Amino acid sequence: MRTHLQKNDGFTLIELLAVLVILSIVGTLISSVLLNGINYSKKSEEQVSIQQEMNLFLTTITKSHESLASYELVADQNPAANTIKLIGKNASGNIVRTAELSNENYVYSLYNYQGGSDIPLPASTTIQTSKPFYIHIIITSKKKPNQTYKIKTIISRL
């Protein structure tokens, strides 16, 4: 007489281990892609923030240059200033506008590049708007010093 073995449904230990290995490989790949995406997003956000700071800085200086007789840029130090004040004056020398450019996350460096070389601006510089202003601005992140934004431009009246 023959005895029939019962058919047992289930997974063997080897099958279970194979599934776990495959899932761990897929999980590792997905997590590395997500982490790289998050890191790239943070870097992009920091770069956009520093560009916005530069746009604000340039807009303030350009509007002053176009609308005032002269203005003074006063930095607490240069290069690597924490605060820059813009003091605008009309034709008779009266103060008509003041603006403070500062952000606790950034350091500002201002240079005059007229003549081919970058010369740091003095801590207090008066700009006559009748002449073009050759400026090289560098904004550096305090948290990540390798994050910088540089621009060389000429600001003049139209």
* Structural domains in the chain, sorted by start: 14-155 (3.55.40)
Global pTM value: 0.76
Tell me the pLDDT tens digit for each residue of 79-112: 889 999 999 988 888 888 899 988 999 999 999 9
Q: Kindly indicate the confidence band of residue 4, based on its pLDDT and cuts at 50, 70 and 90.
A: low
Q: Tell me the C-alpha distance between 51 and 57, whole Å.
A: 10
Number of other residues whose CB lies within 10 A of the CB of residue 138: 18
Cβ(110)–Cβ(9) under 8 Å?
no
Strand partners, 141: 106
Inter-residue long-range contacts of 39-47, CB under 8 Å, 24+ positions, other chains counted: 46/141, 46/144, 46/147, 47/147, 47/149
